[in-house]
Amino acid sequence: MKTKLLIAAFCALLGFNAAVTAAGNATAGKNKAAMCMGCHGADGNAPADAFPKLAGQHAAYLVKQLADFKVATHRNDPTMLGMVAALSDQDMQDLGAFYAAQTGKPGMADEKQVELGKAIYRGGNIASGVPACMGCHSPSGAGNPGAKFPSLKGQHAKYTAKQLRDFRDSKRTNDAGKMMRNVAARMSNAEIEAVSQFIAGLK
Ligand code: HEC
Ligand code: HEC
């Protein structure tokens, strides 16, 4: 009993709460996100489909992407390169904590493409060797933070399709063990468009 109380007091002293992850502070991250909101939205739900939604994405994945944009060898984007240039490691951790703590809003799927998209997402394409996306990104699209598989659900289809093409063309090469390049290399344009639509509608 006494020990429990002591631990609780110790945690309160350190300021542990839901907004504070191991290394990032969401409150500090919110202030630092002022320069990101024009594109990614006030709460990380980017209104325009040219920009990815960040709300609800896993913190460690977000931090990895920011660090990758900064090094710019395996993930290159001229816009993001400029945005991360001045960020410290702590800034990235805080920004990751802030966006991870936001609630992702569902997107809209083109109903005409959902059937093929769902088949790919859940079962892959056995003939061409595309694996099922849900094997790594989970049936709901929430991903798996422990295994470093990002959340995909509700993402703008235009952004998802661009990432798949970038992996296929080896323009984006920051996937450990070529996990995504090996997947995308086997996908047709029609499959990329359809699975991106299905993902946009996942909640
Ligand atoms: C001028 C618009 C713009 C601003 C401002 C901006 N971004 Fe971005 N961001 C983009 C674009 C475009 C992409 C997609 C790049 C690509 O196609 O790979 C992106 C991608 C990202 C990604 C990768 C998302 C994923 O799912 O892999 C993260 C993380 C990110 N931005 C964080 C930030 C943060 C943090 C800031 C502020 C410090 C910021 N961005 C400011 C345009 C912007
Ligand atoms: C073997 C596991 C695995 C499978 C199967 C897999 N993925 Fe991935 N995926 C990953 C990993 C790991 C990453 C993160 C790469 C990184 O660290 O930047 C990723 C990243 C992505 C991204 C980039 C997300 C973003 O926010 O930029 C998209 C889009 C994606 N996967 C879509 C798919 C689709 C669609 C399928 C099925 C056709 C699929 N994945 C199958 C492991 C997998």
Neighbours of 196 (CB within 10 A): 27
CA distance 103 to 99: 8
Indicate which atom in ligand 2 lies nearest the CA of residue 124.
38
Q: What is the pLDDT of residue 134?
A: 98
Q: What is the pLDDT of residue 2?
A: 53
Instruction: Kindly state if the Cβ of 77 falls inside 6 Å of ligand 1.
Output: yes
C-alpha 65 to ligand 2 mean position (Å): 13
CA dihedral angle for residue 15, residue 87, residue 150, residue 97, rounded to 10 degrees: 20
Neighbours of 133 (CB within 10 A): 22
Name the band, by pLDDT with cuts 50, 70 and 90, for residue 26.
Answer: very high
Q: What is the pLDDT of residue 35?
A: 96
Q: What is the mean pLDDT of residues 109-134?
A: 97
Q: What is the mean pLDDT of residues 51-78?
A: 98
CA distance 191 to 50: 20
Of 58, 68, 79, 164, the one to substitute when testing ligand 1's pocket (max ligand atoms within 8 A of C-beta) is 79
Neighbours of 78 (CB within 10 A): 8
Asked whether residue 184 carries a pLDDT value surpassing 90, the answer given is yes
Asked whether residue 7 carries a pLDDT value surpassing 80, the answer given is no
Ligand closest in space to the Cα of 174 = 2
